[in-house]
């Protein structure tokens, strides 16, 4: 194998982690789990609650997708590259810490490194911890009161130990 060939493979793998979210996303919309698991309407990144009971301080969860609902609309690379924001609330997604088991919450948008994410192999990674990715709990969806609404907990998990079905997302 020539140096050029080895360099090309290595460079390509590194570049994937460095690409901004918008390189794979089209702007605003749902952050949707690619595999429906036990929810035929799929799971989307969501804020707990609805209407007056919306809880912007609670950890984010995966919930039955509700296209058009403000509490599920995210914008990639806004306001800064690598950030994922909820335009309706002017808040950004932030990991509690760059460690396995950390939850994601909405916080005031800032230059905090825990608000930066990268995209690789269909997975959302904290920018400073490429071995971790956003994953849903390995459980059945929990009913949330709606006619067919289910929810799952979310956390950062080691990508090597979580199935792609629970960790591959499509961005807006």
Using alpha carbons, select from 35, 56, 36 the residue that is nearest to residue 46. Answer: 56
Distance CA 123, CA 166 (A): 10
User: For residue 160, what pLDDT is reported?
Assistant: 95
User: For residue 21, what pLDDT is reported?
Assistant: 61
Using alpha carbons, select from 124, 126, 138, 103 the residue that is nearest to residue 168. Answer: 124
Cβ-contact 46, 72 below 8 angstroms: yes
The pairing of strands 104-108 and 91-95 is: antiparallel
Distance CA 165, CA 172 (A): 18
User: For residue 85, what pLDDT is reported?
Assistant: 95
pLDDT in tens, 155-170: 999 999 999 999 999 9
User: For residue 15, what pLDDT is reported?
Assistant: 35
Query: Which helix (H) or strand (E) is 150 found in, with range?
Result: strand 150-158
pTM of the model: 0.84
DSSP state of 98: S
Q: Which CATH fold topology does 20-170 show?
A: Trefoil (Acidic Fibroblast Growth Factor, subunit A) (2.80.10)
Peptide bond into 79 cis (omega under 30): yes
Using alpha carbons, select from 80, 78, 84, 48 the residue that is nearest to residue 63. Answer: 48
Domain boundaries in the chain? 20-170
User: For residue 23, what pLDDT is reported?
Assistant: 53
Residue ranges of the chain whose pLDDT lies below 50: 1-18
């Amino acid at each position: 194998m020539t140096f050029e060939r080895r360099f090309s493979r290595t460079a390509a793998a590194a570049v994937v982690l460095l690409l901004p979210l918008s390189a794979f996303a089209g702007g605003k919309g749902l952050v949707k789990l690619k595999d429906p698991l036990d929810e035929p309407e799929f799971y989307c990144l969501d804020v707990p609650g609805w209407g007056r009971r919306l809880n912007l301080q609670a950890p984010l969860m995966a919930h039955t997708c509700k296209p058009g609902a403000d509490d599920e609309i995210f914008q990639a690379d806004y306001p800064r590259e690598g950030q994922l924001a909820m335009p309706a609330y002017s808040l950004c997604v932030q990991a509690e810490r760059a460690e396995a088991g950390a939850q994601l919450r909405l916080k005031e948008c800032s230059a905090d490194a825990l608000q930066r994410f990268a995209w690789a192999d269909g997975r959302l990674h904290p920018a400073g911890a490429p071995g971790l990715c956003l994953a849903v709990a390995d459980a059945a969806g929990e009913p949330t009161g709606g006619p067919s609404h289910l929810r799952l907990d979310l956390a950062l998990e080691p990508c090597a130990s979580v199935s792609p079905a629970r960790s591959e997302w499509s961005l807006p």
